[in-house]
Structure 1
Amino acid sequence: MKSYLHRKGRVIDIAHQSEITGKYSELAARLALLANGWTVHQAETDEAYDILARDPLTGDYAKIQVKTVRQRIDRGGDLVVYAKKGNGTTYDLSEADFIVGVWVTEAGPRVFMFENRMIGEYWCKEASATERWVELSLTLDREVIAAA
């Protein structure tokens, strides 16, 4: 039997909702990377990573895994990124150099990037998110792009 969520008079399949959230997060991550001068590539085949992108400063390619940031009200509002594959294992460095977490807020998405430390959960306080993780702006940075 399928699980459904009722919202605004509509019935939405929970699995479909999860897929939409994941795609939304990936598109927000791609937009943020592009806005900050990264060259973003689209794979023709399924890969362990979500995005392959080239760093505008070093020219190095990076494999990026995108995850949705969750706010844990039961943990004082801490932000958490669950960085595990479908089989419950963590991403090793051959699969992802960076994790990009997308926090969907009412004001719009906030995109954070940090190195893959091969752990299953990345936590921080909301107040220290910009100190612990690099926040990528969604606003196009024309200076970075012109310098690339």
Structure 2
Amino acid sequence: MAHITETVAMYSELIAQTALLANGWITHVPRTKEAYDILATNPVTGRAEKVQVKTIRRRTDRNGDLVIYTRKGNGTTYDLAEADWIAGVLAEDGAPPRVFLLENTCQSEYWCVESRLAERWTELPISLDRRMLALLEAETTAA
């Protein structure tokens, strides 16, 4: 059986990929070990962008504020050649997962007070909206 850390990491990656797809991104998962977890085509720019997925944690020493730790195994942060975006997945027991997309600014951690999530982090809904996807497709085709 997989270690719980590995299971949660894979769950987060799959949920992040679902959120990206639901929001018009085309996703690709590398077959070789890369610094990023998902290569995704941005529906607005058409550019392929690298997404590093991390599970969001609650900081008990900060009244439950949310934090995304973004250090690699060697202790360094992801530079812009390795990841354009950080996808943070909030996966709490018994609650639907939530996905937040943040531009990579090469920090070792990103944190936010839960009451300010909407203004600080971009939430990607995981629910499918075919009408929105059709609009994105029409815009892409017209361009």
TM-score, normalisation: structure 2: 0.90
The equivalent of 2:8 in structure 1 is 21
The equivalent of 1:76 in structure 2 is 63
> How does 1:1-148 map onto structure 2 within 5 Å?
16-105=3-92, 106-146=94-134, 147-148=136-137
Q: CA deviation at 1:39?
A: 0.2
Moved over 3 A (4+): none
1:131 and 1:17 mapped to 2: Cα distance? 32
Q: CA deviation at 1:33?
A: 0.3
Letter of the structure 2 residue corresponding to residue 60 of structure 1? R
Determine what percentage of the aligned residue pairs are the same residue. 56
CA deviations over 1:38-81 (Å, ceiling 9, x no partner) = 00012221111000000111111110000000011221111000
More strand by share: 1
RMSD over aligned Cα atoms: 1.3
2:59 and 2:71 mapped to 1: Cα distance? 17
Q: What is the SS of the residue equivalent to 1:86? A: coil
TM-score, normalisation: structure 1: 0.87
2:131 and 2:24 mapped to 1: Cα distance? 9
Contact map agreement 1:42 1:52 (CA 8 A) in 2: yes
Unaligned runs of 5+ in 1: 1-11
Compare CA radii of gyration and give the structure with the larger one: 1
2:61 and 2:72 mapped to 1: Cα distance? 24
